Amino acid sequence: MKYTLSRYNRFQPWQNGYHIAYNARSGAVALMTEENYRTYLAIGEKLSGRDTGELNASEQALLDQLAYGKFAFPTEYDELAAIKFTHQLNRFESSSLGLIVAPTMNCNMACTYCFEQNKRGSMPPEVIEALIEFVEKRAPGLRHVDINWYGGEPLLAMAAIEDITQSMLDLAAEHAFTYTSSMISNGYLLTPDIVDRLVDAKVSMVQITLDGPRRVHDERRPLKNGRGSFDRIIENITYAVKKMAIGVRVNIDKQYNEALIAELLAELEAAGLQQRVGIYFGLLEPASEVCANIAENCYNANEFSEVEVQYYRQLLQHGFRILRLPSPVGVYCMAQIVNAFLVDPDGDIYRCFNHVGDKSKIMGNIRNPINYEDPNFRRLFAFDPFEDSMCRECSILPICMGGCPAKRVDRNLIGEELCETWRHNLHSMLDIIAASRQQQQQAAAAAKE
């Protein structure tokens, strides 16, 4: 059988004569010896016809391994068409239902950059009932349901979360679908008692934002009463990590620098969280006109990709795990999936996190049949990365899939401003990821001794 090398392969020199081998379609990252790398180059020459010789036994053996990791595939196979097919399957998948539910828009914090409308009150019983009916109607065809709790601060509506979860679990048992759940929370109310209740409610992962070390976080993310929240959040996390996965998001803008990150890492280390939390850096962006006043403090994608590398390098130097991986995505976001909906406490349905609370952006209400003709559905759904010449030819298409559609539609960004930071920093990030793996292996080996 004739083989072709994947257009998504990337090889780069690493330490001690090794090369990092990466394939964006499978997400595989491996270390390759110098000898294997030379064999790889020889295989490339022979498969392309530039060298007319036959593959020898060691080349054939390596080619078999490469094919296993999707670094190579039979020549008659159309790699781009296969990715497009998977993308379409993900878009129109009807056996999974993804819900992002805001059980309240109320919040106990007053973050300096937040423009969410802090409405009081939780999702009323009639909306909870309608939400359950919404899932119940679809249940016979479902194999999986996932709810991501969002807000406002979702933990201010714990009773609604427990109510809805119980019904989901009943429906899951009746219709034999699996149910998973996660949450985005500011972490202040994530006390041990609440953690235990969330575990019962099948919430297996909570994402918490820490905006820097204590002194910066408390200034940027104060409670509504003006007090700081950092110490209590850290205390909460130290219990929570024993029961569930905790992801810490650090929102980055131009006010950050390496000294602040080092201070935050030292505080997390002092709390014993170095190996217990996954940290990732998020770009603070002026997501709509209402927050245009923060724009001057925000990095553009290119600038952010540079500071992101510096900060991940710092994580590595301080012995934190690197969890940001260039993994393939079927679609970039829920806005491009027909069976994913973001529901607010009124039962109104949105397509984007940044739209919640802006009633001009709703695509319907869970009480009514879904209307896929609604312009607010079509606006973000319409973008197809395979119709964009830059994305179609892009060497990281499988891990970006054209990026956030709202950047195109709401913010009218163009060119590389649309690209995931991988496009700018994959080389440096692969170095960091390989070093992190090595660090983890060495730590595991040391622990065994």
Interface positions with ligand SF4 (CB under 6 A):
333, 335, 352-354, 380, 385, 390-391, 394, 396-397, 400, 402-406, 418-420, 423
Q: Which of 44, 45, 20 shows the shortest CA–CA distance to 32?
A: 20
Query: Which residues have CB under 8 Å from 389's CB, separation 6+?
Result: none
- Give the span between the Cα atoms of 111 and 115, in whole angstroms: 9
- Give the span between the Cα atoms of 437 and 323, in whole angstroms: 10
| Least gap, CB of 409 to ligand SF4 (angstroms) | 8
CB closer to ligand SF4, 147 vs 195? 147
Largest Cα–Cα distance of the chain, in whole Å? 76
Q: Which of 328, 253, 312 shows the shortest CA–CA distance to 287?
A: 253
First to last CA, the chain: 47
| Least gap, CB of 380 to ligand SF4 (angstroms) | 5
CB closer to ligand SF4, 36 vs 336? 336
CB closer to ligand SF4, 179 vs 386? 386
CB closer to ligand SF4, 300 vs 317? 300
| Least gap, CB of 375 to ligand SF4 (angstroms) | 15
CB closer to ligand SF4, 61 vs 414? 414
| Least gap, CB of 398 to ligand SF4 (angstroms) | 9
- Give the span between the Cα atoms of 183 and 151, in whole angstroms: 9
CB closer to ligand SF4, 93 vs 420? 420
Give the 3-state secondary structure of residue 262.
helix
| Least gap, CB of 106 to ligand SF4 (angstroms) | 21
CB closer to ligand SF4, 97 vs 419? 419
Burial of 103 (0-12, 13-18, 19+ CB in 10 A): buried
- Give the span between the Cα atoms of 281 and 324, in whole angstroms: 9
| Least gap, CB of 314 to ligand SF4 (angstroms) | 25
CB closer to ligand SF4, 200 vs 393? 393
| Least gap, CB of 356 to ligand SF4 (angstroms) | 10
CB 115 within 8 A of CB 105: no
| Least gap, CB of 374 to ligand SF4 (angstroms) | 16
- Give the span between the Cα atoms of 62 and 37, in whole angstroms: 10
Provide the 8-state DSSP code for 89: H
| Least gap, CB of 147 to ligand SF4 (angstroms) | 16
CB closer to ligand SF4, 136 vs 388? 388
CB closer to ligand SF4, 238 vs 288? 288
CB 388 within 8 A of CB 394: no
Q: Edge to edge, what strands does the sheet with 245-252 contain?
A: 278-283, 245-252, 203-209, 178-185, 144-149, 96-101, 340-343, 348-350, 364-365
Q: Edge to edge, what strands does the sheet with 9-13 contain?
A: 9-13, 19-23, 29-32
- Distance, C-alpha 105 to centroid of its chain: 22
| Least gap, CB of 139 to ligand SF4 (angstroms) | 25
